[in-house]
Amino acid sequence: MEKNYQNEVAKILINIESIKFSFKNPFRLTSGQKSPVYVDCRKIISHTKERNQILDYAEQYLKTNKIFFEILAGGETAGIPYASFLAERLQKPMIYIRKTPKGFGGNQQIEGNFNDNQKAILIEDLATDGGSKVIFIDALRKFNIKVSDIFVIFYYDIFDLSKTPLATLDVKIHYLCTWKNIIDILKKNEILSIKNIENLLFFLSEPEKWRQMNE
């Protein structure tokens, strides 16, 4: 596997604006809180060349690290296309998981065919503190599907996972890129000023303090 693949993925995410910055007029997130950065890995699906580069790295990562799984599980909604792309490449079956049962028909939370004790890997586009993954892991295990690995393209890697709900679930997060790689590319290519990079680092380390100062 290519040694600097993490920085290559970081470069792609910045170039296609999957990671956008706005320091003067911060983004307003779904939670209502402000942020100088917005991460949207769903954009990747629209860029054929970049999408294939990332999928190449993902396929290589899974094979190089010998991660065993029999079925790919895509998390609603952003994980579904990546699970689909990778299932096709690896010629393995796929399912997807809803955040909640659909409430009609068979009231299913997991779509697709699977067997008892089948080993799955959860596929998502990104992970922050891993909290949102708990719903998907719980659903898989409720239906007797084994899962001990999560694969994402972008992982924040700025939280202490031992203090998050995910810590109790005995799963490992695999990823192609983190904030460290993004910062490396921003500095190396002088994409942001030193002042803005310091501002970003401050936000990532102390988001609540940053928000108080930017109200």
Q: Are 94 and 87 contacting, i.e. CB atoms less than 8 angstroms apart? A: yes
Phi, psi of 157 (to 5 degrees): 55, 40
The strand pair at 34-35 and 27-28 is best described as antiparallel
Provide the CATH number for the domain around residue 133. 3.40.50.2020
Q: Full-prediction pTM beyond 0.75?
A: yes
Number of separate domains in the chain: 1
Q: What is the pLDDT of residues 77-127, one digit of tens each?
A: 999 999 999 999 999 999 999 988 876 655 589 999 999 999 999 999 998
Phi, psi of 4 (to 5 degrees): -105, 30
Q: What is the pLDDT of residues 140-188, one digit of tens each?
A: 999 999 999 999 999 988 877 777 777 888 899 999 999 999 999 999 9
How far CA 107 is from CA of 21, 96, 100, in Å, comes to 40, 14, 9
Q: What is the pLDDT of residues 126-137, one digit of tens each?
A: 988 777 789 999
Overall average pLDDT of the 3-24 stretch:
95
Residue 79: domain span: 5-213
Other Cβ atoms less than 10 A from the Cβ of 76: the count is 16
From its phi and psi, is residue 72 left (phi > 0), alpha (psi between -120 and 50) or beta? beta
Q: SS3 for 172?
A: strand
